[in-house]
Structure 1
Amino acid sequence: MTNKDLFKAGPAGWEADPQTSFDTWLSQQKGRGGAPAMRISSAEVYRAQWGKFLDYLQTRGVELTRVTDVHISEFLSSLHSENRSQRDRYRKLIERVFADLYRSKAPRGYVNPAGVAQKEQGAAWKAVAGNLPTSFLTLAERRTLVEHLLSPVVWQKSEEHWRQLRDRAMVATFLGAGLKVSEALRLTVNCVALHGEPWIKLRRPDSQFSHRTQPTPFARDLLARWLAERATSGCRGDLVFPAGVHGGAMHSVTALRAADAIVDASGVSENRLERASPQTMRNSFAAGMFEAGESPKSVGESLGFAVVLTAERLKASWQSWQTFQN
């Protein structure tokens, strides 16, 4: 019999040794996509987050079983170097732990304090500037995400296969062509030229201003695969990324959820405290151009910036971000 078998779950066990209790709980959690075990890198991040929370409680003399939503909100507000998305990752972890702490028998009227902290209107921990000024994916993260995007689609049902091909190609336009979500959702098939020198042409609504961007090889391949599937499926309309075969427009929330699901499935999110959003991918496309020696003017033209100064600021943010990473 192992120590894990001897360990008794419940409030008393968590209170007596919150770190060992957490390690035991963590060892029982599954990985992404139902994997039998969590990645070591992800477990290390969770241990660091939990350890920071325990340190906070210890300095204030608060027992684990007496933690309230006020304590959690104050702890989240104390994370001065974190943005709101990062703070919410801490909150979600705490919520999961407290759900386990009282999983057998919760006190009468008990409500998970981390859940209460989430619903608090005007909470100080939510009043942050947002993400770092500009966020990027590292080169390793980009490679991991591209590898997943190019991997075989394993869905058996035709509608799921169709949706996965669509979503992967859409995410490829963020990471491999620098499109915004709104641009991808307005994109029509006559604006994509993949034969010869590939280009995507974009026009702003109610404006004569247009720009074009050249997709990277992986994005071109994913777009070609999706457009072929789209054509053979009898999809109506001319939108490149419709909501369904009926051809209707996809909602931006659906696009964001699809992007998050792909990032999660790739494993990239497990090692990041910050969300890898479509905007992060767009910024990373620009970073790839800067890494290749492209000028701010060239990058600005590909991303559709009206003035070169915007691209110059993006380059400065990228250089600052690199220093922060090192």
Structure 2
Amino acid sequence: MELVERYLEHVRVEKRLAARTVELYALDLHKLTGNAKQAGVELTRVQNAHIRRWVAQMHGAGRSGRGIALILSGWRGFYTWLGKQGLVESNPVQDVRAPKAPKPLPKALGVDDAVQLAEHQDADADPWLEARDRAIVELLYGCGMRVGELVGLDISAGKEARGWIDLQAGEAHVLGKGSKRRTVPVGGKALEALAHWLALRDPAGKVAQPALFIGRNATRLTAQSVWQRLKRRSLMAGLATPVHPHMLRHSFASHVLQSSGDLRAVQELLGHANITTTQVYTRLDFQHLAKAYDAAHPRAHRKTR
């Protein structure tokens, strides 16, 4: 422990670290000392294999990757200092990294919340804006489009069109990532909302802008505007969480997968080049099933005494 105390004095006095930081270093080095003692090895004789074993033990005990990374940082600094003192030949922590944190699941709405948002109507809103915003929600949730694909849509097909809606065929033709085109079906509710929006979009026939979704200044709607309008609409609809466009894409994928179980179909609808990208939605689907099991199965939970 003498070496640890000397190091803590070093970081406290010479490096002038905050008292709380020094306290955290002390806790981490106390753990290191305990591990070394249990392994029957002196601190100056700790090897890379020891560190890796202790990292695996912490990970197995449930400590997060971020927490382990912070501990390793403290240990690494200690051994760097020991090296400068000529007490160790190499730093056993130098090439050890904490386990990667699992990728967070995409945020998706529950079916009830998604339907609540899609069916929301603001009676006090400008009818023109209301029709446009409702059509946007129906397309994002009903087709799983990216916001960039949505704002790139034109009213009709053309040489310069990045994407368009074929109302008669009930299809959306979009230009996705990597300039890859795909066709996705447009549901009945979205077609109704689009027809209503198109009836109000330019009744006088004076707008030359080919974009399907435009602002009051007759310019193509931007992705940022869609984010802002969707956030506002979700709060007006009474949802607890502000909704963004990609959340509706995640909701589309999750709900289609829950109903169909067809991962390949979801991959095609989303325009994913690799099915591993789509497989994240199987984790969302499992969460849904797990919740249903926990709520319904009589043996899901042990009774507390």
Aligned to 2:106: 134
1:176-215 superposed Cα distances (whole Å, 9 cap, x missing partner): 11111111111111210122x41101013773x2111112
Q: 2:255 aligns with which of 255, 280, 288?
A: 288
Structure 1 unmatched ranges of 5 or more: 1-128
- Tell me the TM-score normalised to structure 2 length: 0.55
Report the counterpart of residue 320 of structure 1 in structure 2: 287
Call closer, same or farther: CA 1:318–1:278 in 2, change over 3 Å. farther
CA drift of 1:263 comes to 0.6
Shift of 1:304: 1.2
The answer for the alignment partner of 2:172 in structure 1 is 200
1:164 alignment counterpart? 130
Q: Distance in 1 between matches of 2:143 and 2:123?
A: 22
Whole-angstrom distance in 2 between the partners of 1:243 and 1:226: 13
1:264 and 2:243 equivalent? no
Classify 1:233/1:257 alpha carbon distance in 2 versus 1 (closer, same or farther; 3 Å).
farther
Confirm whether residue 297 of structure 1 aligns to residue 264 of structure 2. Answer: yes
Counterpart CA distance in 1 for 2:105 and 2:135 is 27
Q: Distance in 1 between matches of 2:195 and 2:234?
A: 21
Q: Say whether the 8 Å CA contact 1:153–1:165 is kept in structure 2.
A: no
The amino acid of 1:173's aligned partner reads L
Letter in 2 for 1:194: L
Asked whether the 8 Å contact 2:142–2:252 carries over to 1, the reply is yes
Instruction: Measure the CA separation in 1 of the matches of 2:115 and 2:186.
Output: 16
Aligned equivalent of 1:239:
211
- The corresponding residue for 1:144 is 116
- Cα distance in 1, alignment partners of residues 204 and 136 from structure 2: 17
CA distance in 1, matches of 2:176, 2:111: 30
Match of 1:189 among 149, 152, 155: 155
Whether the 8 Å contact between 2:152 and 2:211 is mirrored in structure 1 is: yes
Q: Does 1:249 align with 2:220?
A: yes
Given candidates 308, 313, 317, the residue that maps to 2:275 is 308
Code of the aligned partner of 1:204: G
Mapped partners of 1:147, 1:167: distance in 2: 11
Paired AA for residue 308 in structure 1: I
Rounded to whole Å, the distance in 1 between the matches of 2:143 and 2:273 is 17
Residues 186 and 145 (structure 1 numbering): CA distance in 2 closer, same or farther, change over 3 Å? Answer: same
Q: For 1:129-163, what per-residue CA distance to the aligned partner results, in whole angstroms no more than 9, with x for missing partners?
A: 9x952111112112211221xx37443xxxx3212
Give, in whole Å, the separation in 2 of the partners of 1:322 and 1:252.
34
Name stretches of at least 5 consecutive residues in structure 2 with no aligned partner. Answer: 1-100, 157-163, 295-305
Q: How does 1:16-95 map to 2 (within 5 A)?
A: none
Amino acid at match of 2:165: V
Alignment-mate amino acid for residue 304 of structure 1: G
1:205–1:175: structure 2 CA closer, same or farther, 3 Å change rule? closer
Write the mapping of 1:3-18 to structure 2, written as runs, cut at 5 A. none
Aligned-residue identity in percent: 21
What is the deviation of 1:252?
2.1
How far does residue 322 in structure 1 lie from its aligned partner after superposition?
Answer: 5.0
Amino acid at match of 2:256: M
2:242 corresponds to which residue?
275
State the SS of the aligned residue for 2:279: helix
For 2:235 and 2:204, the matched residues in 1 are separated by: 28
Q: Distance in 1 between matches of 2:245 and 2:191?
A: 18
Aligned residues: 187
Q: CA deviation at 1:308?
A: 2.1
CA distance in 1: counterparts of 2:220 and 2:264, whole angstroms: 32
The aligned amino acid for 1:224 is A
**Distance in 2 separating the partners of 1:275 and 1:224:** 27
The TM-score with structure 1 as length reference comes to 0.51
Name the CA distance, whole Å, in 1 between partners of 2:204 and 2:223: 23
CA RMSD of superposed structures (Å): 2.8
User: Partner letter of residue 248 of structure 2?
Assistant: M
